Amino acid sequence: MLFNTLEFLLFLPIAVVIFWRLPVRFRLPWLVLASIVFYGSFGLENLIHLSAIVIIVLIVGHVLKAESPVVRCLALWSGTLAILALMGLLKYYDPLAAGTGALPALGLTSPVGFSFYAFTAIALIIDRYRDPGAQPNDAQDVLYLTWFPKILAGPIERIGPFVNELTDTSPLTWPQFATGCQLILWGLVKKVVIADNLAPFVDRTYAIPAYAVPLELIIASYFFAFQIYCDFSGYTDIARGTSRLFGINLSENFRRSYFAHSIGEFWSRRWHVSLADWFRDYVYYPIAGPDRKTWRMYAGLMIVFMLSGIWHAGLGYGIGWGFIVWGLLNGIYIWGERALNPVRKRFRKLLGKTWAAKIHTALAVLVVFHLILISWVFFRAGNLGDATMILTRIWQNLPELPSLLPRYPFTSEHVLLGSLIAALLAVETVLERHGIEDRFAAAPRALRWLIWYACLFALIFLGRWQSEAFVYMQF
């Protein structure tokens, strides 16, 4: 029951109407039931894995009530390691067994969204350990782990803000309802209109990197950057909009990512922000320590990106070394940026608020985007050899690009896909200074309805419904 299916578009209004018609005391159980039905639609075996994580968290939560520091510490490590062990088993056992030949293959794969609710579970355990005074509520904890809008690909919420939303019994207001629908609609446009139309061109080109025209490799690489952005951020928009229809506000996971001025800003404040916060709080800070020594900070940054690459690499059917290189490359980017920060700060101060400063900012955005673009090639290519081949062929043909462009047979497909990206960038340029709620609410009523109809028109006539699953579900 993906967000871009008819089944979900029928399921959601039924779930919302029943929720608001129920007495307050029955609403939380109803949300748990709706979440189980939603996740169970991907196969009953998924519920087994989800149940295992929920049971671990509930048991650890009650043990953490103990007064003994030793017992609490054992509970923390036992629960965390149990979840990580299960994640490692599902992601890496079969690839390692096939590589060594000494172990039997078990046909294990991660259920959809497993990593996201596993990370959520680890965050809950650690936060409960850090706050001895917390009083766990089993029903709230179960919903926190299973909440269906976020279970497939985040955002990775924290228990405190999430519970605060649950305990607010205020009725749904029209602005909340309208904003929820707007987020769902915009998310669907990004997913089924933009991402899913870009996907066939990218798949076709990346499937034959040795034979594709170099210019097509360049175009496909640009297209993939926007495909994965619209796919993932579109999911988050739909998840946030869906949650808002139940009176729950999820965190903003994407903030117009390709407008970042630096690699650090891209990863910490604009792309998959909830995962970046998770790695910061539970990996980077413990490594960097309270003294924040330079070598520990640099080590922490590289470990975070390497772990992110390793997490992406384990897909249950093989280890994707390209993901590990992707993580390593972004770690190197961050290292270089950190080392150059003093020079960059002095240069920006020197420019002040002149036109030269604005040009510098625009150039910084372009440089950051293209650095990320290079790393996406390793992320998307079928293997490390293909990624190297694609980048090599692009690099070798860059000097000839001015002469290749006029001779390339552009088609209506290129025009359509380029227009969709241009429209996305135009909208995000408008939204960069004001969020969708503020900007949309301030617009004249006629313009608001025009935007609604334009989005619906795009979904009906340009949308590729049910053609592509969300990319990050596999992780």
392 has pLDDT over 70: yes
pLDDT given for residue 304 in this prediction? 93
Residue 357: pLDDT band by 50, 70, 90 thresholds?
Answer: confident
pLDDT given for residue 136 in this prediction? 76
What is each CA distance from 1 to 41, 136, 231, 238, in whole angstroms? 6, 31, 16, 14
Residue 349: pLDDT band by 50, 70, 90 thresholds?
Answer: confident
Of 70 and 445, more confident:
70
pLDDT given for residue 327 in this prediction? 92
pLDDT given for residue 319 in this prediction? 63
| Sign for the pseudo-dihedral over CA of 446, 448, 454, 457 | negative
Beta partners for residue 314, in sequence order: 319
Ranking 127-131, 263-267, 439-443 by mean pLDDT, the lowest is 439-443
Question: What percent of the chain lies above the pLDDT cut of 90?
Answer: 54
For 263, residues 6+ apart whose C-beta sits below 8 A from its C-beta are 330, 333, 334, 337, 368, 371, 372
pLDDT given for residue 316 in this prediction? 47
Q: Which residue has the tokens 């919420």?
A: 157
| Sign for the pseudo-dihedral over CA of 169, 173, 179, 185 | positive
Q: What is the pLDDT of residues 420-475, one digit of tens each?
A: 999 999 888 888 776 555 666 666 777 777 878 888 888 888 888 876 778 877 77
Residue 222: pLDDT band by 50, 70, 90 thresholds?
Answer: very high
* Mean per-residue pLDDT, 104-125: 86
pLDDT given for residue 317 in this prediction? 45
In angstroms, how far is CA 411 from the centroid of its own chain? 32
In angstroms, how far is CA 386 from the centroid of its own chain? 25
Q: Which residue has the tokens 């619209």?
A: 230
pLDDT given for residue 318 in this prediction? 52
pLDDT given for residue 467 in this prediction? 67
Minimal CA–CA distance to 155: which of 278, 33, 267? 278
User: In whole angstroms, what is the distance from residue 312 CA to residue 326 CA?
Assistant: 10
User: At residue 346, what are phi and psi to the nearest 5 degrees?
Assistant: -65, -40
User: In whole angstroms, what is the distance from residue 46 CA to residue 111 CA?
Assistant: 6
Q: What integer best gives the mean pLDDT of the chain?
A: 88
Question: What percent of the chain lies above the pLDDT cut of 70?
Answer: 95
205 has pLDDT over 90: yes
User: In whole angstroms, what is the distance from residue 266 CA to residue 247 CA?
Assistant: 29
* Mean per-residue pLDDT, 221-233: 95
Are 246 and 19 in contact by the 8 Å Cβ rule? The answer is yes
User: In whole angstroms, what is the distance from residue 183 CA to residue 34 CA?
Assistant: 21
Q: How many CA atoms lie within 13 A of 468 on its CB side?
A: 26
For 146, residues 6+ apart whose C-beta sits below 8 A from its C-beta are 32, 35, 36, 39, 50, 54, 117
Q: Which two tokens stand for residue 272?
A: 């998959």
pLDDT given for residue 315 in this prediction? 61
